[in-house]
Amino acid sequence: MFDLIRANRRRSVALVGGFVLFLVVVGAAVGFLTGFGWMGTVVALVISAVIAFTSYWKADAIALRVSRAEPADPVQYQRLHNLVEGLCIASGLPKPGVYIVNDPAPNAFATGRDPRHAAIAVTTGLLEKMNRVELEGVLAHELSHIRNYDILVSTLAVTLVGGIAILTDTAIRLMWWNGGRVARDGDRDNGNNPLAYIGFALLIFAPILAKAMQATISRQRETLADVSACQMTRYPPGLISALEKLRDDSTVTHSASTATAHMWIEQPMAGVGDGGRLGRTHRMFDTHPPLEERIALLREL
């Protein structure tokens, strides 16, 4: 398992590098296609660099704010704080910030850039529907993400996916409003330039590719976090029971968004388990492995 954790860290560096490189390529395409020449490309790349820098330092705060998470009062949520402290002592981790999300759906996520700058958020629905052992399993899963440094990649993905979406949307709007009515340097050439077609395709498919990368980031890490959580608690039935409750609960997590979906312990968005015509398409962008697969693996431990 420790070999997997080390491999996970190496993949994390590669994925972050790939995400930033992809953001730079999209930024270059924006400058080229909007007709602002090299100056537009430089501006787009500067914006990309600012997004990447902000992602590293502030993405955890952004993720918590987007999810409407509030600090958990130590008195009102004493049981939650006690469980987190106990697991941290047992695993040698510093205690992360503990947050509450006012949402009836049972769910939880971890965010941050490293174990010393991390936070765990749980919904009020999770606290209501899980007993102590099940809640401990869920918290151990989230602490495993922190210990395995999954949170850095997951948190960066929130702002990087958003940055790609903003850049592509801005470029398409600029091209739409220009519409060929105002000639800019390179406008006439772009019509016959093969690079223009590549750029258009990139702008159209960039958000889709970003979502696919986001899904890959999460799916690779959920199973390892499940196994790490069982090692932390030394009681697999606790997490198994929690995942079974999550499987049987159909409540949509309204505090989640497409940008933060990969961070939660369970896929929070609608369309999960869809067996209709679009079921296969939905599964392509699932940010988590099926709960049945995760439960079956834990039962083999």
Name the residues annotated as catalytic.
142
Q: How many helices (H) and strands (E) does the chain have?
A: 11, 4
On whether the CB atoms of residues 23 and 45 are closer than 8 A, the answer is no
| b/e sequence 86-123, b meaning 16+ C-beta within 10 Å | ebbeebebeebbbbbbebbbbbbbbbbbebebbbbbbb
On whether the CB atoms of residues 118 and 110 are closer than 8 A, the answer is yes
Which two three-digit tokens encode residue 123?
Answer: 């919904």
Distance (Å) of CA 51 to CA 17, 162, 237: 14, 9, 42
The DSSP 8-state label assigned to residue 112 in this structure reads E
Residues 6+ apart with CB under 8 A from 151: 60, 110, 111, 112, 113, 114, 118, 145
d(CA 211, CA 242): 27
Query: Measured at the alpha carbon of residue 238, what is the angle toward residues 112 and 231, in degrees to the nearest 5?
Result: 60
d(CA 25, CA 198): 11
> Bridge-partner residues for 100, per DSSP?
70, 122
d(CA 231, CA 301): 10
